[in-house]
Amino acid sequence: MSNEVILTCAVCGGHANHGKHPDYPITPEQIARDCIDAAKAGAAIVHIHVRDPQTGVRSGDPALFREVVERIRDSGSDVLINLTTSEGARFNPGDEDAAVGGPGTTLVQPLERLHHVEELRPDICTLDVGTFNFGETIFVNTPAHLRIMAKRIQELGVKPELEVFEPGHIVFAQRLIEEGLIEGPPMFQLCLGIPHASPATPEILTVMKNLLPEDANWSAFGISRMEFAIVAQAASQGGNCRVGLEDNLYLDKGEFATNLKLVERAVRIIREIGRDLATPAQAAERLGISR
C-alpha cells in the first residue's frame, strides 16, 4: 500500500442540484476556477462535467469541455484532468411505447459520448461499467456499448476510470480486463450512495473492495452526509478518495460547502489517519499515465 492518497475533486456533476446551492459552479470559468483551487489544496485529479452557462443544466457540449480544460492548462496547474463520458446514457421509457424514450432520455451511440475525449485527450475519462437505476431514471451502459467505448479510449491513450455502482459492475469490468480492453493497472471508482444503487455503508465498500483485481488502484466516494465517512474508511483501507460538490452540497448541517472546503477537510482526515497526499506526478506514475 502506498502511503500517498490520490484525492479527486468532482467539482459539479450532472445532477439537477445546482438550484439548491447559492454558489454552484456552472460556467466554464467557475468550473475551471474550482478545479485549480482544489488542486492547490491537495487534489491530484479533478473530475469534470459541464453545464449550460445560461440554465445550469448538465451538458455534453464539447466546446464547454474545451474551455474548462484550456483554462486549467493555461493556469499552469499540473492537476490530472478526468472528463466524464456519462452524457448520453439516460433512458426513461415512454408512457405509450416503453421501447421509445420519453422525457429525460438522452441515449446516443457510444462513440458520440467520446467526442470531447477524442478532441481534448485528457489524462483520464470515466467508463461507467454497467446499467442500473440512477434515481428515477435508467442509466444504460450495455456490454456491447462498453466494449466499443473501452476500445476507443484505449486507442486514444486515455486512462479509463472504471466507475462501478454495484458489485456486478466489477465482475463485468474484470471481463473487459481479461479481453484486453482495459490495460493495467486498472483504475476503479467505487460509487456509493446513489439512490437505488449500492448504499454508502462500510459493509458494501468492503464487499466491493474485495472483488477488485489485486493490482487495481481504487478510490471510493459516498454522497451527501456519508461523504467524509467514506473518505475515512477508504483511506484507512489503503484506497484513494473523492470529494466535491457533485457528491455533497454541505460542509456541515445547514452550512453550504465549496469544492475548496471539501478538499481541505478531506486532506485533514487523510493526514489524521497517518497518510499523505499524492501529487499529480505521483498519481500519474501510480496509475500508469504518460504525460
Q: Domains in the chain, ordered, with CATH? A: 4-287 (3.20.20.70)
Rounded CA gap, 138 and 151, in Å? 24
pLDDT of 29 reads 98
Q: What is the pLDDT of residues 152-178, one digit of tens each?
A: 999 999 999 999 999 999 999 999 999
| pLDDT band with cut points at 50, 70 and 90 for residue 84 | very high
Q: What is the distance between the alpha carbons of residues 190 and 198, in angstroms, rounded to a whole number?
A: 9
First to last CA, the chain: 24
The pLDDT tens digits of the residues spanning 25-78 come to 999 999 999 999 999 999 999 999 999 999 999 999 999 999 999 999 999 999
* Burial profile 1-24: b = 16 or more Cβ within 10 angstroms, e = fewer: eeebbbbbbbbbbbbeebeeeeeb
Please tell me the predicted confidence (pLDDT) of residue 2: 78
Grid cell for residue 109: 451511440
Find out whether 191 and 197 touch, Cβ atoms under 8 Å: yes
The DSSP output letter for 133 is E
Question: Which stretches does DSSP call E strand in the chain?
Answer: 4-5, 7-10, 45-48, 50-51, 58-59, 80-83, 90-91, 124-128, 132-134, 137-139, 159-164, 187-192, 217-222, 240-243, 250-252, 255-256, 276-277
Q: What is the radius of gyration, based on Cα positions, of the chain?
A: 18
Please give the grid coordinates belonging to residue 227.
461523504
Report which of residues 18 and 41 the model is more confident about.
41
Q: What is the per-residue pLDDT for 128?
A: 97
Whose cell is 456541515? That residue is: 252
Local structure of 97: helix, strand or coil: coil
pTM: 0.97
Residue 36 pairs in a beta bridge with none
